[in-house]
Structure 1
């Protein structure tokens, strides 16, 4: 499927609206991390109101659980609703560039990962608050942590599901694909995949490098949901691990 960008005032308004929605959805994990680390938990630890609550009838574990439960529910419900609307926009015009899943920035707003990334931000914010225990340092550390996690997940994503490989004769060049390009290079007579020495149609160069063809590894459209579900599961596991570490730190600091 080829994507397009139609012209006209209505099309431009549609695309600008989608761009704003996508940018807002992409910013939610960062906002959740900074708010949780700085305002929701970090500020109370810095001011001592959390410690005061712990001396009353609320245990530290119950206090942190209550702090995280409502935001987690609100983030899940809110992003879930936005995902339904975003998928409806995709269905209405699937060939617009904003709605093509492998275009930069589109993958995380078109599937279930958009609901889990804010939860990962929430977990990162809670961990940052327990480690820093002050508002601004916790907020800053939380922001850096969630951005680092998002970059790592983005780099990991293409490798979470087996790619398809398209091999073409060297004299025909790279074959056309529709999907997310993961890797490309040259193929030797033994079938080995090597970096492309850029011989193009230089027969002597091709012979010197024993190149018989070229290859492209990619994810077609049918891989979208497998990639989404595997990355969603990965992020949920990562968020659960961070929350577990956070509660362990809390218990250690409040029982010593």
Structure 2
């Protein structure tokens, strides 16, 4: 391994060019070795990403043409989309949500588990390259490929959804199909899942079992993330004291996500919106019995989407950094 860079090239006039002059900016040494070892997976990811980005760009062009034909952006939003596009947004967003799982299972889990299982790690330990440098190169190149792929897909999907992001029928901003596939979230989710898979592979040292455990880990990460996603925002509240009739219900900002709503009494006490039905009371009797004077509504405005994404991504980046530190500590003590 230490002799990887000892190459030379001969020019047509018989003189010998230096290795640096021949290689230019090409990968060399350990970087070249790691890339060559995993080149099939890396090139596959890059090629699939390029195809997906090209398709998303095409879809955005088609969407803009349709919107323009409907008078966008001057016409009313209810005329912008037909029934086909909302379904496409949902399906594509749902499909992109599997990317962190796929990357964790097929890139993260085998990255070290394969070398530990087939003995490559022992060969590395016998060379002049230190285990820490080997780990850093493996993780660095893999992380770079993951960042490039997920960031490109995030930008492409965001630009496709962007012209109609304020149309609720297109895609709810708080839904995972939109929230988890735009901004920094897809990059953060993918990195955390991949690095988690690498750590699992290092501990289990067997490729197949590492992939199975990483799949379970990635699914749990997705479930926990979806459960706490809305907790990343700051819930706002609006109250009214104009009665509980339908016309007295408070107005919240356009595209805001309603979290919950209650009746409010004259004393400020809240009652669930199903109180009257639960007690089998007519509206008039219910108002008198509980002294209902208005509504209380909790909601999240769409303006918080970006800050929620960055806050959530920063948590995932911190967890990724913690797992990475564990990998290096473990690798320095016991890599073979």
Q: Contact between 2:110 and 2:201, CA under 8 Å: does it hold in 1?
A: no
- Hey, what does 1:172 align to over in structure 2? 245
User: For each residue in 1:30-49, what CA deviation from the matched residue of structure 2 results, as whole angstroms up to 9, or x when unmatched?
Assistant: 11110234322212111121
Structure 2 portions without partners, runs of 5+: 1-75
Query: 1: CA distance between counterparts of 2:288 and 2:328?
Result: 61
Q: Contact between 1:120 and 1:146, CA under 8 Å: does it hold in 2?
A: no
Query: 2: CA distance between counterparts of 1:217 and 1:58?
Result: 58
Q: Contact between 2:113 and 2:202, CA under 8 Å: does it hold in 1?
A: yes
Which shifted more, 168-177 or 66-75?
168-177
Structure 1 portions without partners, runs of 5+: none
RMSD of the TM alignment (CA)? Answer: 3.0
User: For each residue in 1:144-190, what CA deviation from the matched residue of structure 2 results, as whole angstroms up to 9, or x when unmatched?
Assistant: 11221222122222122211113345623654543223333444544
Query: 1: CA distance between counterparts of 2:97 and 2:79?
Result: 23
Q: Contact between 1:187 and 1:213, CA under 8 Å: does it hold in 2?
A: yes
- TM alignment of 1:169-248, pairs within 5 A: 169=241, 171-172=244-245, 175=250, 177=252, 178-193=255-270, 195-200=272-277, 201-205=282-286, 212-248=293-329
- Picking from 16, 27, 34, the partner of 2:105 is 34
TM-score, normalised by the number of residues in structure 2:
0.65
Q: Contact between 1:5 and 1:96, CA under 8 Å: does it hold in 2?
A: no
The number of residue pairs the alignment matches comes to: 251
TM-score, normalised by the number of residues in structure 1:
0.82
Q: Contact between 2:263 and 2:271, CA under 8 Å: does it hold in 1?
A: yes
Larger Rg: 2
Q: Per the alignment, in what secondary structure is the counterpart of residue 177 of structure 2?
A: coil
Which shifted more, 44-53 or 200-209?
200-209
Query: 2: CA distance between counterparts of 1:199 and 1:21?
Result: 42
Q: Contact between 1:33 and 1:142, CA under 8 Å: does it hold in 2?
A: yes
- Hey, what does 1:149 align to over in structure 2? 221
Query: 2: CA distance between counterparts of 1:185 and 1:154?
Result: 25
